[in-house]
Chain A
Amino acid sequence: MFKALRASLSLIAAFTLLLGLLYPAAVWLIAQTAFPHQANGSLVSYQGKIIGSELIGQNFTSERYFWPRPSASGERPYAFSTAGASNQDPANPALVERVRGRIAVLSNAHETQSGMIPADLVTTSGSGLDPHISPAAALYQAGRVATARRLTPERVHALIKEHTENKTLGILGEPRVNVLRINLALDRLGGGRP
């Protein structure tokens, strides 16, 4: 009994030191040396300010920007500290209502679009922070953004194509457009700034 207790406490103490301090510190040291950009959150700067992380989605409501997916983050859309999912099951009336409301908003803002609405534009993601939309969702919004910025539709389409990331190895993930990056590219182009 005493022997087992001593062994237990020794193992816990030794491993807390090794696995709880030395291991993460070693990872930290190498990470900060070899991959400082990634290790600190893949931050994006613009005009001298840190405007966000390329991994963390942010909300956009202006018609001059591409809009992200809806977000179920607790506090407000894309709030980092309350990141999470809607957790509504497929038959939940609240889900159906929410999607219906979203479709109405989207159709209103994109009157020239008559086709189906890409699912990612009406569904919330698992984290509430999904930084991407599908290329179809970007194309759906292209007309509105082009009009608001007084750009040609071809220019906006080219921008979407340029910002589309394909499936990794041809099979992993979905083709996607990073919303912050493409919106930043729009701002860099200038055009239609109010």
Chain B
Amino acid sequence: MTFLSLPLAWWGQLALFFAILLIAMKPLGLYMARVFSGERTFLTPLMQPLENAIYKLGGIDPKEEMGWSAYAKSFLIFSFAEGLFLFLALLEQGSPSIDPHLALNLTISFLTGTDWQAVAPEISITPMTQMTSLAVHNFLAAATSLALAIALTRSLARSDAQTIGNLWVDITRGVLYILLPLCFLFSLFLVSQGVVQTFGETVSVTALEPENAEHLVTGPVASQVAIKQIGTNGGGYYNANAAHPFENPTPLSHFTQLLAMLLLPIALLYAFGVMIHDKRQSFAILASTLLLLLPLAFLIAAAEQSGNPLLNVMGVDQTLGNLEGKELRTGTTGASLWTTMTTATATGSVDSALNAFLPTATGVALVLMQLGEVLFGGVGSGLYSMLVYVLLTVFLAGLMIGRTPEYLGKTVGVFDMKMISLVILLPALTTLLGTALSVTTAAGQAGMTGSQAQGLTQALYAFSSASNNNGSALNGLNAASPFYTLLLSLCMIAGRLGIGVAVLALAGSLAPKKATPVTKRFLDTTTPLFIVMLSLCLLMATLPYLPSLTLSATYEHFHLMAGN
């Protein structure tokens, strides 16, 4: 694997990708900061009547601020109410019907923004339910996540404060001013590329060879794909997800969907800097993120470009890379970049068959999820998880140099460290426990396919994906049995509600602290040294997974090489 082994097209894609994102991050970040500070924007004349109507209906006073416990309670009640709606909608959708345990799994999956799908949606879920339930909760999951990140940001920006914002206002403004306008424009672009938008029509086609006559099923796909990518949710209208030509028809639809995954996370990072009045902090976090993400992106691409060694010896020309499970309009270069970004951002949408990736690439995708979805991460969840790591790094650095750990002039105390540990350790705990249960019980083993190492990879992948609310799947695993649907549901709840409440508690503890003016006395969190240390702390978080990664992806890699 040399640098030369990667085609220029991959480097070109990477450069264009980050160039566009870095240009977009400032204006969009400034705009988002305005939205969440309750300021006027150019959309105010259009959206304000709607916004006020929603407040009136809900008996919400937009000026009323919440303390962390009220914010957390509202978050839990809102999640529960969403869950009830979704569950009933899925159970009562009529024909086709799905089992209650699968409906529960789907409910929790969409409620938490994971979008893990244990059923083929175009077969098991009606177009109406996809449109009026799943897509709606994609918006709400993203908006709730955004709200939590903004609440944590406020707790750092404010000094001596008892409140961290109003959940209802944050969600409403997030949807009306950010998600809805972006998705509206993006879905129209997607339609221009060939993504379908109907209310669920079936077209009969005769085909050139008559025995291949088909019924093509269309539906409200473009409007759903837009939020699936922009909201980093990942749930497809079709089972084949972003590999399906009706969801992702051209190289341009592919590239723009790729951009859509990172657009809000990167802009939110900028908005964070604006809201705490210190944009250097945003760029420091950005640098730390890229320091880890770029080498990992390279590893995936290089592995896939080298092709399957077993096919090389059979006289197959793999100039285009490991094409099994990939579409030509995407190419190996595009699919590698997509897989990097979809696992880095908690989106989990797939444009190619992950199970067919080479073990090195699957292993890296696993690590990207196990990092806790912090390399840009999901909309909102990426920022709050990253800030938790920043605080951890500040704490460790403080210990090393014998000073009180402080971030933005706020002391990191004992309670804060407890919450930080909880956020970092909870997903590791649920991932490893779930994996252990799967490989040691008959019910767990029943779902696995392929070799034993492959089975371990599949289970590890599924539980990493659920615990970190990613939603991508290796698909070799048959996860539709009650064993997996229920266990994975628990992991998704822990990864969302457990971590959400811990983050809000952290915000509640940080907000009242007086921010002492930052002087030279303090640790500077924007120096190259701190940036590198933050990256190292992130890497450290993958240590609990090292034994299982060795037994799964690493073993498979050597197994494959030995077979060559």
Contact = CB atoms under 8 A, between A and B. Distances in A.
Contacts of B204: 50
A171 B560 CA distance: 30
Interface in B187-204: 187-188, 191-199, 201, 203-204
* Most chain B CB within a 10 A radius of its CB, from A18, A23, A124: A23
Interface stretch (B311-319, B439-447, B538-546): B311-319
Contact of A8 (B16, B78, B329): B78
B513 interface: no
B262 interface: no
B311 A3 contact: no
Contact of A10 (B58, B335, B450): B58
A89 B476 contact: yes
Contacts of A180: 208
B356 interface: yes
Interface in B217-251: 217-218, 220, 222-224, 238-240, 243-246, 249-251
B198 to A, nearest CB: 6
Nearest to A129: B245
Given A14-B54, A117-B315, A51 B208 contact: yes
Contact of A80 (B57, B80, B216, B317): B216
B317 A136 contact: yes
B314 A126 contact: no
Given A35-B192, A91-B310, A85 B475 contact: yes
Contacts of A115: 317
Nearest to B351: A126
Interface residues of B, number: 125
A100 B310 CA distance: 11
B249 A119 contact: no
Interface in B158-216: 168, 171-172, 175, 180, 183-184, 187-188, 191-199, 201, 203-209, 212, 214-216
B359 to A, nearest CB: 7
Interface residues of A, number: 104
Given A60-B208, A85-B240, A171 B323 contact: no
A16 B132 contact: yes
A107 B220 CA distance: 43
Interface string B80-117: 11100100000000000000000000000000000000
Interface stretch (A38-46, A141-149, A152-160): A38-46
Given A90-B310, A119-B316, A187-B208, A42 B194 contact: yes
Contacts of A50: 203-206
A4 B77 contact: yes
- Pairs A-B, 10 closest by C-beta atoms: A126-B243, A173-B251, A10-B58, A85-B353, A20-B132, A172-B251, A116-B317, A171-B12, A8-B81, A55-B245
Interface of B: 8-9, 12-13, 16, 50, 53-54, 57-60, 73-74, 77-78, 80-82, 85, 120, 122-123, 131-133, 135-136, 139-140, 168, 171-172, 175, 180, 183-184, 187-188, 191-199, 201, 203-209, 212, 214-218, 220, 222-224, 238-240, 243-246, 249-252, 254-255, 307-311, 314-331, 333-335, 350-353, 355-359, 449-451, 454, 474-476, 556, 559-560, 563
8 contacts: A7-B60, A13-B57, A50-B205, A83-B240, A85-B325, A85-B475, A90-B358, A129-B240
